[in-house]
């Protein structure tokens, strides 16, 4: 897979550390930002949130928003190479592409089960997708007596919770509950619905993915000393303008609720810088642009605000960038 950096990402990188623009460490390890658009409003320029962590010839998806299969193809990654999927939380902009992944694996007779890791509710989510695959699996390619493999046999689910650490092949994966939800600790909602940040400790590299979160001491602790922090970011003014264009008749109460969600459940550029500095990470990649593709002036503004706190290399990611 060839390294690819957008002009905006490259400009940000050159302003900080040219070495960060290299195509990842030796051995093929890389974190590929397949989709960098923050949902739920779609964009013509960016795909929905999805990433591919590659190590030793194996591929692990980290979130799987709508368009993930196409983005894998654009990145030169074959579907059979995907060995597991990690979901940070169950909002559809982060899970909408999973159904296509499961269905197309079944249709192309990939029989090795795919393991989907995610927060509580992942089992229910996947069960619904498996149910939706049944009619196609039964009819197969229309050859009498030749249906596809029963879909339930092609996927396993492991639900993760706060503080859990598991071994997956050569890496250790650790989950931390973040602040994307406001449910009271210990409440029924808190037990049933969690948004997770994820740390991937590989043999020679550590990568932390925030998923969607607001400021969080737990995420800062999870990211301590990581080689790479992949952080979401919210541009409040740009996001609200984008939503207004998409939903011009949004009722005032709904708009107020949306503003509360965006301001407390996501990270501003200033908060991203504080997180990276507090965690002492070596480098930072910013993704999840709900406001759409930033122009050069906004990109410079983001980097300037982050730089107030964090002095390491910073990249403003585009789809198919590789770190």
Residue range 11-33: mean pLDDT, rounded: 53
Query: Between vectors from CA 119 to CA 35 and to CA 199, what angle results, nearest 5°?
Result: 65
pLDDT in tens, 221-267: 999 999 999 999 998 777 777 777 778 888 878 777 767 777 678 99
How many Cβ atoms sit within 10 Å of the Cβ of residue 129? Answer: 18
Tokens for 107, please give them. 């249709």
Strand 171-177 and strand 165-168: the pairing is antiparallel
Residue range 296-307: mean pLDDT, rounded: 96
pLDDT in tens, 46-90: 999 999 999 999 999 999 999 999 999 999 999 999 999 999 999
Q: What's residue 27's pLDDT?
A: 46
Q: Where are the beta strands (DSSP E) in 82-183?
A: 82-86, 114-118, 155-159, 165-168, 171-177
Evaluate whether 165 touches 90 at the Cβ level (below 8 Å): no
pLDDT at residue 122 is higher than 50:
yes
Residue range 197-203: mean pLDDT, rounded: 98
Q: What's residue 253's pLDDT?
A: 81
Q: How confident is the model at residue 21 (pLDDT cuts 50, 70, 90)?
A: very low
- Output the furthest CA–CA distance in the chain (Å, rounded): 66
pLDDT in tens, 128-183: 999 999 999 999 999 999 999 999 999 999 999 999 999 999 999 999 999 999 99
Phi, psi of 58 (to 5 degrees): -110, 150
Query: What is the percent of the chain with per-residue pLDDT over 90, rounded to a whole number?
Result: 78
Evaluate whether 29 touches 311 at the Cβ level (below 8 Å): no
Evaluate whether 46 touches 22 at the Cβ level (below 8 Å): no
């Amino acid at each position: 897979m060839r390294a690819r950096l957008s002009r905006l990402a490259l400009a940000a990188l050159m302003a900080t550390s040219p070495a960060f623009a290299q195509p990842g460490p030796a051995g093929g390890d890389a974190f590929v930002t397949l989709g960098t658009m923050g949902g739920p409003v779609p964009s013509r320029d960016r795909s929905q949130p999805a990433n591919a962590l590659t190590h030793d010839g194996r591929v692990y998806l980290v979130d799987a928003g709508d368009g993930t299969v196409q983005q894998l193809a654009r990145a030169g990654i074959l579907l059979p190479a995907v060995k597991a999927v990690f979901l940070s939380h169950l909002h559809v902009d982060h899970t909408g592409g999973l159904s296509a992944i499961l269905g197309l694996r079944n249709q192309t007779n990939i029989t090795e089960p795919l393991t989907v890791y995610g927060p509580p509710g992942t089992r229910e989510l996947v069960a619904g997708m498996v149910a939706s695959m049944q009619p196609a699996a039964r009819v197969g390619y229309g050859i009498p007596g030749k249906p596809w493999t029963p879909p339930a046999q092609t996927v396993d689910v492991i639900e993760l919770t706060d503080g859990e650490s598991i071994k997956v092949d050569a890496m250790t994966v650790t989950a931390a509950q973040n602040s994307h939800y406001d449910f009271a600790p210990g409440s029924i909602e808190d037990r049933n619905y969690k948004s997770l940040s994820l740390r991937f400790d590989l043999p020679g590299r550590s990568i932390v993915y925030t998923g969607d979160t607001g400021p969080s001491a737990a995420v800062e602790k999870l990211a301590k000393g990581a080689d790479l922090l992949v952080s979401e970011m919210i541009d409040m003014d740009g996001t609200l303008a984008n939503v207004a264009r998409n939903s011009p008749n949004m009722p005032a109460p709904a708009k107020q609720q949306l503003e509360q969600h965006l301001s407390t459940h996501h990270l501003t550029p200033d908060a991203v810088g504080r997180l990276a500095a507090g965690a002492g990470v070596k480098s930072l990649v910013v993704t999840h642009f709900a406001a759409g593709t930033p122009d050069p002036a906004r990109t410079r503004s983001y980097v300037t605000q982050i730089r107030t706190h964090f002095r390491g290399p910073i990249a403003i990611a585009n789809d198919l960038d590789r770190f």
